[in-house]
């Protein structure tokens, strides 16, 4: 039986953190939230009570904590506002809109009282971060309870969160509550919110949301009282409430690091049980122009789930919700918010991408401020592979678009290393191409280096070893090394910590003593092993493999039916490499470096030689 129930997940949570406490080489913090929220849908203000139990599994004594107050970003003069006003290519959804918000349109989160184990605390609001001095330090292995009264205002929909989005969804409630910042082996991650991604602490959430009775809610967690709205969960129906007033929706979510919800009085709610038992929920507006596409998308979502289960790892919760809302597409715990007025292909495409985030962001959860490419890039890679299968696109290389996007970045003059902090990219376009496209090419090209079968196995073992653990780039690299038997530090460093590029060329071809002598040149700074293919005049194909010495191993022949000759290692410091083909030049029709075009060579015009062009 899969690890998918509330009880089993809660047990896993306790077991994992107990193990962490006994293992000085790995640990992570834990939080349990209880929240009661009352929403006023007339003025979009809400009040909340939060009880948070924080367990310090670190070896450090903590004398302060930090909370994120994300909604404070949606105010004139905020860091998000200033960044959008000063960056050369602002997000078209933001631009100068925050600077023009009126007081009843802004977002805010205000902490009214905060206690630690019954003692009032002092704190300071610094933009989107609450700085809290503790009354009593939290020693290693100890837990403490914070109680907070807070209130907030939902901003006009601008970025991810907000009210009354462009498609008329009333409430997209993402990053809406005071959220404790993550503390890990690197220290506190109390990052200001400037429109990039999020990082959080795993824990169990128990959330009650009181709202007008004609609203239907979808989001994170399992609904504990479905009887509150007659028709909730009935396929293809709006929730028809028998009385006026307010209802309280009660959700629990085990072992997640966020809690998101959306609400609208006109949601249609469909359900579909997938082959593995996961219940897929769909919430979308009662709009006749989109209903057909949303219906057709639902079995495709089940196919996507099956693909990710097979190629990454088993989805570990009992349900997942696809919800119309937000300002594009964004992943959250057990759900995604997407805009829904799309073509069928676009609707499936955005669902494929956001759903795939569940494996890389919400079940492994790298720190996206520091390693955004590990989430966005890996998600782009696997969702493109899934779309190729599920939508029967039949592309010979589903990653071709990502390669082309990377080539434009690498030759633009604007590329920054992938180790750049997510908020520090000079251009939004450079961030996007680096995180999404270059991140996807990292995986696709790794398949070239270690072999596709080893890449596939690496992804599975990576998920199996690191879900619920916030992995780092080195954690992924070590899995790939163990699977492949190769040394890969050079690959991780050059690709992610520099802007070195790959450029190999066929420098010279000549006949010497009745044999063909080929000289290759490394023109770029980044080294790679070389797959070299020869097509003879009798249309026979042969392969020559030149290992990179620093790999300390070789990959298997990707085409076992083709004769392959393994040559001596190429050392990186030598810019040229010469070898001999035991055939006269007259018998050779063409030669190519990396015929599959899986190596991200920025100039492929010099990768081929043919008799016709001689």
**Residue 291: CB atoms within 10 Å:** 16
Q: How many CA atoms lie within 13 A of 105 on its CB side?
A: 12
> DSSP letter string over 30-69?
EEEEEEEEEEETTTTEEEEEEEEEEE--SSS-EEEEEEE-
* CA distance to 163, 418, 499, per residue, from 427 (Å): 28, 13, 16
Sheet holding 246-256, edge to edge: 119-120, 108-116, 143-153, 45-55, 30-40, 203-212, 246-256, 222-223
Q: Which of 301, 439, 295 is nearest to 361 (CA)?
A: 439
Q: Backbone phi, then psi, for 214, in 5-degree steps?
A: -90, 5
End-to-end CA distance of the chain: 63
* SS3 letters across 91-136: CCCCCCCHHHCCCCCCCEEEEEEEEECCEECEEEEECCEEEEEEEE
Instruction: Locate 185 and state its tokens.
Output: 């082996």
487 exposure class (CB count in 10 Å sphere: 0-12, 13-18, 19+): middle
Task: State how far the Cα of 281 lies from the Cα of 260, in Å rounded to an integer.
Answer: 14
Angle, CA 290 vertex, CA 376 and CA 263 arms, to 5°: 70
Catalytic residues: 354, 436
Task: State how far the Cα of 198 lies from the Cα of 174, in Å rounded to an integer.
Answer: 11
The DSSP symbol for 536 reads: E
Three-state DSSP class for residue 390: helix
Contact 197, 257 (CB under 8 A): no
Task: State how far the Cα of 30 lies from the Cα of 41, in Å rounded to an integer.
Answer: 33
Contact 308, 355 (CB under 8 A): yes
Q: Which of 597, 532, 596 is nearest to 563 (CA)?
A: 532
Contact 311, 385 (CB under 8 A): yes
Contact 360, 373 (CB under 8 A): no
Task: State how far the Cα of 494 lies from the Cα of 572, in Å rounded to an integer.
Answer: 12
E strand residue ranges, 386-513: 504-512
Name residue, tokens 């570990």.
Answer: 316
């Amino acid at each position: 039986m899969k690890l998918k129930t509330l009880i089993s997940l809660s047990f896993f949570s306790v077991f994992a953190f107990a193990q962490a406490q006994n293992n000085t080489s790995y640990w992570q913090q834990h939080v349990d939230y209880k929240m009661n929220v009352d929403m006023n849908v007339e003025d979009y203000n809400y009040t909340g009570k939060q009880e948070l139990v924080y367990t310090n599994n670190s070896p450090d004594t903590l004398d302060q904590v930090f909370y994120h107050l994300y909604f404070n970003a949606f105010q004139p003069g905020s860091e998000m506002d200033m960044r959008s006003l000063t960056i050369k290519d602002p997000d078209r959804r933001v631009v100068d809109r925050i600077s023009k918000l009126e007081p009843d349109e802004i977002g805010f989160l205000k902490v009214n009282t905060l206690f630690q184990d019954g003692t009032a605390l002092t704190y300071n609001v610094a933009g989107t971060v609450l700085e809290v001095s503790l009354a009593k330090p939290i020693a290693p292995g100890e837990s403490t309870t914070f109680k907070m009264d807070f209130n907030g205002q939902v901003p006009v929909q601008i970025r991810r969160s907000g009210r009354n989005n462009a498609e008329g969804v009333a409430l997209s409630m993402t990053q809406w509550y005071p959220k404790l910042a993550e503390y890990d082996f690197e220290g506190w991650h109390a990052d200001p919110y400037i429109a990039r991604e999020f990082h959080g602490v795993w824990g169990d959430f128990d959330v009650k949301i009181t709202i007008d009775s004609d609203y239907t809610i979808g989001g994170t967690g399992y609904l504990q009282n479905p009887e509150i709205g007659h028709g909730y969960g009935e396929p293809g129906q709006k929730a028809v409430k028998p009385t006026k007033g307010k209802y309280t929706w009660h959700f629990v979510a085990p072992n997640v690091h966020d809690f998101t919800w959306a609400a609208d009085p006109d949601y249609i709610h469909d359900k579909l049980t997938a082959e593995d038992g996961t219940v897929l929920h769909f919430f979308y507006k009662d709009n006749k122009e989109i209903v057909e596409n949303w219906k057709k998308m639902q079995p495709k979502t089940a196919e996507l789930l099956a693909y990710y289960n097979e190629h990454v790892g088993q989805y570990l919760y009992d349900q997942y919700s696809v919800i119309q809302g937000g300002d594009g597409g964004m992943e959250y715990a057990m759900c995604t918010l997407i805009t829904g007025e799309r073509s069928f292909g676009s609707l499936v495409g955005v669902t494929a991408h956001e759903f795939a985030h569940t494996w890389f962001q919400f079940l492994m959860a790298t720190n996206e401020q520091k390693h955004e490419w590990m989430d966005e890039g890996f998600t782009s890679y696997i969702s493109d592979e899934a779309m190729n299968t599920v939508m029967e696109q039949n592309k010979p290389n589903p990653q071709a678009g990502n390669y082309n996007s990377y080539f434009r970045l690498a030759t633009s003059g604007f590329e920054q290393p992938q180790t750049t902090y997510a908020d520090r990219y000079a251009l939004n376009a450079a961030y996007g191409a680096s995180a999404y496209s270059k991140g996807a090419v990292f995986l696709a090209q790794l398949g070239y280096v270690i072999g596709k079968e080893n890449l596939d196995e690496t992804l599975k073992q990576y998920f199996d070893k690191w879900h619920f653990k916030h992995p780092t780039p080195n954690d992924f690299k070590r899995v790939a090394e163990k699977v492949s038997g190769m040394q890969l530090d050079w690959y991780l460093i050059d690709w992610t910590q520099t802007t070195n590029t790959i450029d190999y060329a066929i420098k010279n071809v000549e006949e010497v003593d009745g044999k063909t002598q080929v000289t290759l040149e490394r023109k770029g700074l980044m080294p790679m092993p070389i797959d070299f293919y020869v097509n003879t005049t009798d249309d026979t194909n042969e392969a020559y493999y030149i290992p990179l010495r620093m790999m300390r191993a070789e990959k298997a022949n990707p085409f076992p039916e083709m004769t392959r000759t393994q040559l001596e290692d190429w050392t990186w410091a030598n810019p040229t490499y010469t070898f001999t083909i035991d055939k006269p030049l007259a018998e050779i029709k063409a030669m190519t470096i990396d015929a599959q075009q899986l190596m991200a060579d920025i100039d492929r015009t010099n990768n081929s030689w043919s008799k016709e062009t001689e």
